[in-house]
Chain A
């Protein structure tokens, strides 16, 4: 474990003291708990944004956020983040696939 020193504003320190009392924790453990929670949330938020923009793949997102890929998919749905694909890409991919399976005439109608 590494020791770090940070300077905090008096108001923030007061709020931490009050919260520590309410949660029956000493200040160090409270700060560790809050840091862990916020860090995990911010990490996931940032990774979901990268994944939504197509900057990382699902596996890479899962590794960066340190959660299994199932969790990334669940979080995307839970937060209502929509899949990146467009109707134009869909039509092009449907046409290509129909041609690959020998249905060129049908592909031409899409």
Chain B
């Protein structure tokens, strides 16, 4: 199972990478606050991708859960969905998929296991869920949405090369 914040959910939907997340973690959960922020507000503003995300909820590929976990004071610096995602991941001892840079800082500080969508692709490659060719295509699609720094994107591809050649 994995918990996903608003930024990562948007990246997954826009880059068409939800299936990779499902293959790796079997269950994708978002809090009701992320649902409101991404899907309800997105649909109200007429964003077609918000309807795509809603269809995945209706197909039960994404589960919406209420936020119940107790929150650490450091989470107060984040938005509601971001703090709920990290608090829920911490309470349930499962990883959080977090792409917001400020949310990552807090997750690091709280020692919550987290990864971002680019690292999810590295994990998929390491676990042989995708090939290097698929990685390159997916990373390109993700970069067109997330617009990584060019040196970071080059390093992502270099890391993927090491991972794809690695033998246990």
Q: Are B79 and A106 neighbours in the complex by a CB distance under 8 Å?
A: no
Interfacial chain B residues near A67, Cβ < 8 Å: 45
A binding-site residues for B, Cβ under 8 Å:
54-60, 62-63, 67-71, 73, 76-77, 80-87, 90-91, 93-94, 97-98, 100-101, 103, 105-106, 109-110
B binding-site residues for A, Cβ under 8 Å:
6-7, 10-11, 14, 37-38, 41-42, 44-45, 47, 49-50, 78-82, 95, 100-105, 113, 115-116, 118-119, 122-123, 126-127, 144-152, 154-156, 159, 162-163, 166, 168
Given contacts A59-B37, A67-B45, A69-B37, contact A93 B115 (CB under 8 A): yes
Shortest distance between the CB of A103 and any CB in chain B (Å): 6
Q: Are A57 and B123 neighbours in the complex by a CB distance under 8 Å?
A: no
Interfacial chain A residues near B113, Cβ < 8 Å: 97, 100
Measured in the bound complex, the distance between the Cα atoms of B154 and A107 in whole Å is 18
Interfacial chain B residues near A82, Cβ < 8 Å: 147-150
Q: Are A94 and B122 neighbours in the complex by a CB distance under 8 Å?
A: yes
Measured in the bound complex, the distance between the Cα atoms of B101 and A104 in whole Å is 25
Interfacial chain B residues near A60, Cβ < 8 Å: 78-79
Shortest distance between the CB of B148 and any CB in chain A (Å): 5
Closest to A79 in B: B147
Measured in the bound complex, the distance between the Cα atoms of B15 and A2 in whole Å is 45
Give the one of A54, A55, A76 with max B CB within 10 A. Answer: A54
Main secondary structure of the interface of A (DSSP, over half): helix
A-B contact pairs, 30 of them (CB 8 A): A57-B82, A62-B41, A62-B79, A69-B10, A69-B41, A69-B42, A70-B10, A70-B42, A70-B45, A70-B49, A71-B47, A73-B7, A73-B146, A77-B144, A80-B147, A82-B148, A83-B152, A85-B101, A85-B148, A90-B155, A90-B156, A91-B155, A93-B104, A97-B113, A97-B115, A98-B122, A101-B127, A105-B168, A106-B126, A109-B166
Q: Are A73 and B41 neighbours in the complex by a CB distance under 8 Å?
A: no
Interfacial chain B residues near A73, Cβ < 8 Å: 7, 10-11, 14, 145-146
Measured in the bound complex, the distance between the Cα atoms of B122 and A94 in whole Å is 8
Interfacial chain B residues near A93, Cβ < 8 Å: 104, 115-116, 119
Q: Are B156 and A68 neighbours in the complex by a CB distance under 8 Å?
A: no
Q: Are A70 and B159 neighbours in the complex by a CB distance under 8 Å?
A: no
